[in-house]
Amino acid sequence: MVREITYLEAVREAMTQEMERDPKVFLIGEDVGLYGGAFQVSYGMLEKFGPERIVDTPITELGIAGAATGAALVGMRPIAEIMFMDFTTLASEQLVNQAAKLRFMFGGRATDPMVLRTPAGSGTGAAEHHSQSFENWFVHVPGLKVVMPTTPYDVKGLLIESIRDDNPVVFIEHKLLYKSKGPVPEEMYTIPLGKADVKRAGRDLTIVATGVMVQRSLAAADQLAQEGIDIEIVDPRTLRPLDTETIIASVKKTGKVLIVHEAVKTGGFGGELAAVIAESEAFGYLEAPILRLAGKEVPIPYNRNLEYHAVPQVENIIEKARELAQLKV
């Protein structure tokens, strides 16, 4: 029987196993050492690896990203933790203007194998400055890979693969997933970047969801199954590179697609997915318009009731999927 551990434990195990395997891997960030990280992800790692490999920094996201970029250029494999995704705005100069471009600038002779890990999303009452979802900002940047796992199994395999990748990777962990549990092998394994996963097979319509919305879509699908609506759920897992083949195949199979993500709709990843589908052979199979369900066009409120209504919940997915199931072109 495969043991079950939490998403958080799977992240820690992936980092620990890679650090044991490869002395070039180290973790750098604010409070990652003695405190164990803002969400206790790196708890106990300082005692195991020491302060030279579990590096606490001042409050300087720009410095963390810059140190990781430089270390990667000289042969190290840093894992840089940005405490909240909101603060990747401060790290973006080094990440976007330097790390993402170095391999291109040096004609492939230089690599920059760094991973920038960051918790994203709402649901913890952390308000406007600690609850945002900026994944599509980084999807837009050539040279960056963007990973967004949703299960403990996926997060371990994808993190190990990301650490071994020779390109800079933005690795996004949703806060609400940290306590979720699932089967995870103890041994090391990898999951290729750019390979989606069909989390639920169905025939009536496809939901393509990211982050915590995968779990909410699964819960919605279970309820809609009682109404005779059979939903297929595709989790891209990596947003760049994107597995377009799996998504297109699912849409061709069902003829209808609902895209669900937490970030606001304007400029969100759902627009990219909709364009990919519309420009593909799947377009001729569509029996209804492509629909998107996303966060409201507001900053995330501190008030817990308002926060709840600012992003899609299970009941919103049920309502939208039910609407789509009845639509015809």
Which residues are annotated as catalytic? 61, 130
Query: Is residue 180 within 8 Å of residue 208, measured between CB atoms?
Result: no
Determine whether 206 is exposed, middle or buried from the number of CB atoms within 10 Å of its CB (0-12, 13-18, 19+). Answer: buried
Residue 294: HSE in the Cβ half-sphere, 13 Å Cα cutoff = 19
CA dihedral 165, 170, 176, 179 (to 10 degrees): 30
Tokens (6 digits) for 238:
């990596």
Query: Is residue 287 within 8 Å of residue 319, measured between CB atoms?
Result: no
Q: DSSP letters of 7-44?
A: HHHHHHHHHHHHHHH-TTEEEEETT-SSS--TTSTTTT
Query: Is residue 179 within 8 Å of residue 6, measured between CB atoms?
Result: yes
Question: Residue 6 and residue 15: Cα distance in Å, rounded?
Answer: 14
* Residue in 284, 245, 276 with CA at minimum distance from that of residue 259: 276
